[in-house]
Structures are given as structure tokens and as C-alpha cells.
Amino acid sequence: MFAMEIDGLAQVGSPSFPDTVIETHRLGKYYPGAAKGSGVWAVRFASLRVFAGDITVLMGPSGSGKTTLLCMLGGLLKPTEGFLYVCGEDIGRCGEERRRRFRREKIGFVFQNFNLLASLTAAENVGVALSLRGRDPGEAMAYLEHVGLADKADFLPDQLSGGQRQRVAIARAIAGEPPMILADEPTAALDAEHGREAMGLLRRMAHERGTAVVVVTHDPRVRDFADRVLEMEDGRLHKIVRRYRLIAGRRHKISAGTGEIGEESGRISDAGT
């Protein structure tokens, strides 16, 4: 369904050997408070891997550190401690200029509050992302079509509904097919049907294009689209569940109740899986 090609991604997403795109070891973020000793560790001891071609869903209660972790994975926030390697690069400790380039080239981000540019139309918002990724902004229309918004291309964000804005934000994130898409509550403003469509689109990016997709959500319906589920509580990752088994390079869904769900969970602290 995607008309445009992405350089080199076909090999990245080889299904029989899913490549590790993100790897963290005991990653942590501390927000200092105004008064001495009043700071919080929003994320602590987070060891995980994210694979090309997978949809990884990060769940947990409000305030458990999901956005903070996602922002670190996307190079938007500098970790306080631990290691963060993305595509083999030490993103946790590199300088701001390098991190900015990394975000531009590698990450499509869907923000919790959309972050669309208010003075630009839907097509221009998507076009800016394409330009930053070295692509033709004229391709914006194709991405708006993917989210069913071609007829709103010339509308400004404040002329769109919340759900429509969210879909523009998704179009912007997938524009130019970056190797990683990080999405914070991408279905929060969508009705059931559009939520399914948005997740279906992200799933196609992952399974057909080899994109590494990480979705933060409260929405239990999103879980159905997950290849792996990471659960957070109080800043800690406490469970990692893989929901498929690779047999001869093909994904086979592991159904609940077979005793296989949760097989990765025991390895969180050792292997950082």
C-alpha cells in the first residue's frame, strides 16, 4: 500500500532475525524538584530491547513514567543514568546536535498533545516532516490519504477535530517512513473505528516495512495489535510479554492460556529483553 520506497529498510526488518533497534540498560530519569530532596525518579532501571518489525506497546497507570521513557528512547530527553543505544549509537550520552540529527533522520514521533504547527495546514505540517527527512513535501497528500484526511489537506489544525488532528500527527510521523515510530497515546482522541485504522496503519509499517513501532497507551484495545507488551509501574518496567513466536520466519500469535505468555518476563533484569 505504500507507494514510496524506503532505503535499506527491507533488510532491517528481516522477520526471522528481528534486529535490535533500541537497547537500554538500567535507564533512568530523575526530575529534580524545587526543594532539596523533592525530585522524582520518573523512570528507573529500565532495561529493554525494541526490535525492527515489531509493535511494542508500553502500558501502565498515569504517572508511571511512560512518556518519560518514550522521550528518552526518541532522544528528546537525556537520561540521568544507564545506557541507551539506538541503531548502535550511544544516544544517551551524545551531544544535542547529534541528537537533533538522530531525531530528524530516524524518528517519527506522535506526541500526546499532537504538537502540530498551528499556522500550517495539515498538508504543510506533513510536508515539513518530509522536508526534514530529505523528501519531497509534495508527497504529503499520499500520507494524508493513508489516514483518510485527503479532503482536509488545506485545513489549519484549529479547523480540525481532535481526532482529525491526531490523524494528521500520525501522517506526519509516518511521512518518509522513518525506521522508528514512537507514538504517545495515538488513539486517545479517536473513536473505535479510527483507532483500529490508525493501529492497522502502524502495524503495516512494522510488519511490511520493518519499522520499529513503540506505542504508549492506556487503551486496552491497542494491546490486541501488540507484538510485545511492556508494563510499567512507578517508573519500573515490571513485565515484558512477547505475543508471537517466530517459526520459519513467520509470526505465529501465542494465544493466552497456553502458558507461553509472559515467557520473557523473567528475563527483564538479566537480558533486558
Ligand X SMILES: Nc1ncnc2c1ncn2[C@@H]1O[C@H](COP(=O)(O)OP(=O)(O)OP(=O)(O)O)[C@@H](O)[C@H]1O
Binding site for Mg ion (CB under 5 A): 67
Written as one string, the DSSP assignment of 145-194 is HHTT-GGGTT--GGGS-HHHHHHHHHHHHHTT--SEEEEESTTTTS-HHH
Decide: is 79 part of the binding site for ligand X (CB under 6 A): no
The smaller minimum CB distance to Mg ion, of residues 58 and 87, is found at 58
Decide: is 11 part of the binding site for ligand X (CB under 6 A): no
Cell triple for residue 117? 504547527
Binding partner at 28 among ligand X, Mg ion, none, C-beta below 5 to 8 Å by kind: none
What SS3 state is found at 177? coil
Tell whether residue 31 is a contact of ligand X (CB under 6 A).
yes
89-108-231-253 Cα dihedral, nearest 10 degrees: -100
Nearer to ligand X, 121 or 166 (CB): 166
Helix 162-174 to helix 122-132 angle, to the nearest 10 degrees? Answer: 20
Is there binding between residue 107 and ligand X (CB under 6 A)? no
Mapped onto helix, strand or coil, the DSSP state of residue 37 is: coil
- Choose the one of Mg ion, ligand X, none that binds residue 31, judging by a C-beta under 5 to 8 angstroms depending on kind: ligand X
Q: Which residues 51-70 are close enough to bind ligand X by CB under 6 A?
A: 60, 62-68
Could you say whether residue 236 binds ligand X (CB under 6 A)? Answer: no
Residues that bind ligand X (CB under 6 A): 31, 40, 42, 60, 62-68
